[in-house]
Amino acid sequence: MTDLAIQTQGLAKSYGPLGAVDGLNLHVPRGSIYGFLGRNGAGKTTTIRMFAGLARRTGGSIQVFGLDPQYDHIAILERTGFVIDKMLIPSMTGNDLVRFNRAFFPKWSDVLAKKYAEALEIPMKQKFSKLSSGNKTKLCLLLALAQGADLLVLDEPTAGLDPVVTDQLLRLIVDDFANDGRTAFLSSHHLSEVERVADWVGIIDHGKLLLEAQLDDIRIGYRRIRAIGRELPTQSPEILKLHRSEGMTEYVLRANADAFTARLRNEGATVLDVSPMNLSEIFLELVGKESHVPVEVLA
Amino acid sequence: MIFRVHPGSGVPIYLQIESQVKHAIAAGGLNQNDLLPPVRKLAAELRVNPNTVARAYQNLERDGVLRTVPGGGCYVNGQSPGLLKAEKIRRLKPLATQLAVEAKQVLLSREDTLKLLEDSFDELGDSHD
């Protein structure tokens, strides 16, 4: 028995010559809230569709609860709530869909469905086709949450939700999921929400995983150091990025900032500041273009 | 006790919770034998993973700040002076560094800077022990 809810090895998906996902090694621990981050078109949705057995991989392997979605996707669907395409039967109301879905899931809870309809403020008597896009998303989330799953896989769950409902949703994910040791995997590019709720993050760009780590370890490790001096070191395993301008050098370090700062001082440099970085800054350093807004303007 | 965490500050959330508990004890907001909110409840309130809150409580227990009664929650221990002093120093260190940097920047001598600090203490009166 593994303590990973989802694991992939060398996972790949290409559409003809176009590689959407390229050698992904993901490890999603049970009981975690895993934030799967990437820009538009980075390969997030393709990856999630492969988890659900909706897309066939072209290489590598996937295990969801130790099962392969290509062969055992029914068994996986029984234990996993997926919210991917946010499309349901248009002529059915929320209440119809609750009655319809109930039959498929042995652990379905009407009590939970009612609670979520109230918490997320969903008009349950309207036809799906008449709902606003935010309410469509909320109804999809309700159906996934009420099925009593051990794992939730949500693709951009907060897209189109207002801040109050987003906050309610995060609370539900923490309270009803993580608190029971169940696992939530959510893709997003809304970094501030993920930063709050997630304890693991994976950052994907151009189909490749750039970083997978515990968020608190990232917070401890990553530092921005600004220093002045001649012939400062440019090579060190912990240096992620190096920016130079007019006698000043800025380092972005993955780890060991204290030791590195001491080394700079020993080599005669003046260290101006060592500052922690939030997830959004780290994300920009990892996947951003070189020519983004200068740091002085952001500060 | 009201907790507030700042996910974007670059400080691990479990450390933020730890320092808020320690701060509340130092400031008299939490007293010996006060009960802390259960892990699940605090996690839901803060919208953070319960593992993160559990980690903060475990670290506080290891430091002797809290004690856990099996099935009965987390309670505040008596104050341990050694720990609190270390905590105070940890808090003030960045300010001291900042003062030293600024002094060097404007070419104020070490003696004058220390004198400045002493003057500030004098302005506060002799209430410290």
B41-71: pLDDT as tens digits: 999 999 999 989 999 999 999 888 899 888 7
Same domain, A126 and A232: no
Same domain, A130 and A241: no
DSSP letter, residue A177: I
Which contacts qualify for B61-69: CB closer than 8 Å, 24 or more apart? B65/B21, B65/B22, B65/B25, B66/B21, B66/B36
Chain A nearest CA to B8, separation (Å): 5
Same domain, A241 and A261: yes
> What does chain B come to in residues?
129
pLDDT tens per residue across span A19-40: 899 999 999 999 999 999 999 8
Same domain, A73 and A176: yes
> What does chain A come to in residues?
299
| DSSP-assigned beta bridge partners for residue A36 | A187, A202
pLDDT on residue A146: 93
A189 occurs within a structural domain: yes
pLDDT band at B101 (very low <50, low <70, confident <90, very high): confident
Same domain, A59 and A190: yes
Cβ contact, residue pair B49, A196, below 8 Å: no
Cβ contact, residue pair A197, B47, below 8 Å: yes
**Residue A135, domain CATH:** 3.40.50.300
A13 occurs within a structural domain: yes
Between CA A178 and CA B48 the distance in angstroms is: 9
Which residues of chain A have a CB within 8 Å of the CB of B47? Answer: 167, 170-171, 174, 196-197
Q: Quickly count helices (H) and strands (E) in chain A.
A: 11, 14
A211 occurs within a structural domain: yes
A289 occurs within a structural domain: no
pLDDT on residue A62: 96
Instruction: Sort A78 into a burial class: Cβ within 10 Å, 0-12 / 13-18 / 19+.
Output: middle
Give residue for tokens 């080394």. A263
Which of A186, A217, A248 terminates a domain? The answer is: A217
Q: Pick left, alpha or beta for residue A229 (phi over 0 → left; psi -120 to 50 → alpha; otherwise beta).
A: left
A186 occurs within a structural domain: yes
Which of A189, A217, A245 terminates a domain? The answer is: A217
Which of A195, A217, A239 terminates a domain? The answer is: A217
Question: What is the number of structural domains in chain A?
Answer: 2
A284 occurs within a structural domain: no
Same domain, A202 and A67: yes
pLDDT on residue A258: 86
Identify which of A179, A192, A275 has the shortest CB distance to residue B43.
A179
Instruction: Sort A201 into a burial class: Cβ within 10 Å, 0-12 / 13-18 / 19+.
Output: buried
Same domain, A193 and A271: no
Judge whether A278 and A196 are in contact, CB under 8 Å.
Answer: no
Same domain, A74 and A134: yes
pLDDT on residue A298: 43
Which residues of chain A have a CB within 8 Å of the CB of B17? Answer: none
pLDDT band at A289 (very low <50, low <70, confident <90, very high): low
pLDDT band at B83 (very low <50, low <70, confident <90, very high): low
Same domain, A109 and A200: yes
DSSP letter, residue A199: S
pLDDT band at B127 (very low <50, low <70, confident <90, very high): very low
Same domain, A8 and A144: yes
Q: Is the pLDDT of residue B114 over 70?
A: yes
A294 occurs within a structural domain: no
**Closest residue by Cα to residue B14 from B64, B67, B52, B63:** B52
Whether residue A258 lies within 8 A of chain B, CB to CB, comes out as no
Domain that holds residue A48: 4-217
Same domain, A267 and A181: no
Same domain, A213 and A239: no
Does residue A20 or residue B82 have the better pLDDT?
Answer: A20
Contacts for B27 with CB less than 8 Å, ≥ 6 apart: none
A295 occurs within a structural domain: no
| DSSP-assigned beta bridge partners for residue A275 | A224
